[in-house]
């Protein structure tokens, strides 16, 4: 059974139209991450939550926001998507920051911007 679930699998939005991607987990993990993976590029960390504490990467554009209403769910909001935001968005979770903790990834949401 999937432990990190991302919906939808494919998302199409229009240029400038706000879009929300969702991630849920059944692992009760404290930490949730959002990565952006553009075609043929490395996944790039956007931000993460440790419990309710939000941590933004320094180079994440302001256009990207996140919400975590409870332990199980985390949302990625793109306020005004541009063509350059078309990518695969990956959610990942881990129990904590101990060196032996494993990351669990969802299947990703492929975002297209028209």
Partner 1 sequence: GNSVTQMEGPVTLSEEAFLTINCTYTATGYPSLFWYVQYPGEGLQLLLKATKADDKGSNKGFEATYRKETTSFHLEKGSVQVSDSAVYFCALRVIQGAQKLVFGQGTRLTINP
Q: Is-contact 25 93, C-beta < 8 A?
A: yes
Binders of partner 1: how many residues, by CB under 8 A? 25
Minimum separation from the CB atom of position 106 to partner 1 (A): 5
**Of residues 10-49, which lie at the interface with partner 1 (CB under 8 A)?**
31, 40-45, 48
Q: How far apart are CA 50 and CA 40, in angstroms?
A: 29
β-pairing, 109-113 vs 10-13, is parallel
Does 90 sit near partner 1 (CB under 8 A)?
A: yes
Q: What is the separation of C-alpha 41 from the centre of its chain, rounded to a whole number of angstroms?
A: 16
Interface ranges with partner 1 (CB under 8 A): 4, 6, 31, 40-45, 48, 50, 55, 90, 92, 94, 96-97, 99, 101-103, 105-108
């Amino acid at each position: 059974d999937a432990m990190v679930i991302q919906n939808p699998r494919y998302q199409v939005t229009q240029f400038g139209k706000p879009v929300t991607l969702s991630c849920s987990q059944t692992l009760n993990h404290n930490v949730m991450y959002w990565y952006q993976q553009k075609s043929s590029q490395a996944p790039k960390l956007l931000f993460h939550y440790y419990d309710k504490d939000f941590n933004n990467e320094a180079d994440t554009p302001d256009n990207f926001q996140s919400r975590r209403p409870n332990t199980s769910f985390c949302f990625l909001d793109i306020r005004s998507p541009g063509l350059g935001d078309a990518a695969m968005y990956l959610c990942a979770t881990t129990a904590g920051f101990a060196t032996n903790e494993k990351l669990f990834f969802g299947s990703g949401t492929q975002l297209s911007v028209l």
